[in-house]
Structure 1
Amino acid sequence: MEVRVITEARLRDGTPTLILPLTPQDREAVRAGFEELSPESRERRFLASVPHLTEVMLDHLVDDVDGIDHVALALVVIGDDHTGVPAGVARMIRYADNPTAADVAVTVHDRWHGRGVATALLAELLRQRPVGVTRIITTVATDNAASLKMLRRLGPTHEEAAGARIDVAVDLPDELPPAAGSGT
């Protein structure tokens, strides 16, 4: 039986959440969550128009998560009725040809934008990142100010514009941020 490490966290406004590893049992929740995203959020996530997740994409986003080279976490908001509402997913995938570097991606449901979901997810993702990963290398749209700001908060960055996209490299700190539930 697989053990899921669950971390308690609070959003900026004090909303209680749980952060837990994504597992194959979450496949349909990932599909449903993607369908709820606005077209703009879908495009920002994949840097292309993606109307629906294909089975191959779901295989990669869910089934390929191994907790070693591909770490994926989901943040669930705890409602007043004590049920969980999915609010976002973050993942880090080690590059096979560069084992000290990884790509990172964060998807936050539209109604949770600007409330600290990505911040909480990334703090926990850094703690659970693949062993030996010291650098993030990723690409974001030039007009995605929120993602650029989020990446710059992770550590020293190097950015190179490439048309409508920016290639970003982030040197990750050795010292990890405080635990998500610490309130800092």
Structure 2
Amino acid sequence: MRPGDRELLRETYEHLSPESRRRRFLAAVPHLTDAMLEHLVDEVDGIDHVALVLVVIDDDHVGTPVGVARMIRYEHEPTAADVAVTVVDEWQGRGVATALLAELVRERPRGVTHVVTTVEADNEASLAMLARLGTMAPTPFEDNRTDVRVELALPDREERPGT
């Protein structure tokens, strides 16, 4: 994700169904505001905020973004990060989120050992996706939401304590 991707992200978001938009932000967000785009695009630094885009290349060699995944380190808890994945409706259920998350976990902010996020309690696809990342501990929350904590395996690039 680069600063030049702001308008592409805005346009792609406009093509999501209302349900996909609601599931992404846990609220009705009809349009991405400039402030949201600043956070979602301009604040990506590859250190504390990592964002990846999966692009499908067609027969004419034209790339179309079909999903984005991001991990943002919590300032108050540097070993924890929030994670979010958005896949365009036509590509949902085809492995895009799984592929993005696998790469995101490999490229996550250095020192992050777990994910802490909130999802809708009835969002079985998101809960299953998070469970594949590691040991998951869901905690029911208010308004049909579930807080989820996932302990991630240490990546090969980080030295394990005591080794």
Both structures adopt the same fold (TM-score exceeding 0.5): yes
Q: 1:168 aligns with which of 138, 148, 151?
A: 148
TM-score calculated relative to the size of structure 2: 0.93
TM-score calculated relative to the size of structure 1: 0.83
Per-residue deviation, 1:80: 1.5
* Percent pairwise identity: 66
Identify unmatched segments of 5+ residues in structure 2.
157-163
2:50 is aligned to 71
1:155 is aligned to 134
Q: 2:75 aligns with which of 96, 100, 104?
A: 96
Question: Is 1:50 paired with 2:42?
Answer: no
Per-residue deviation, 1:141: 0.3
Per-residue deviation, 1:114: 0.5
Alpha-carbon RMSD: 0.8
SS of the aligned residue for 1:156 comes to: strand
* Alignment: residue pair count: 155
Which of structure 1's runs of 4+ aligned residues deviate more than 6 A? none
1:35 is aligned to 14
Distance 2:62 2:33 in 1: 28
Greater length-normalized contact order (CA 8 Å, ≥ 6 residues apart): 1
Distance 1:95 1:52 in 2: 25
1:106 is aligned to 85
* Partner AA of 1:171 in structure 2: E
Per-residue deviation, 1:78: 1.2
Identify unmatched segments of 5+ residues in structure 1.
1-21, 177-184
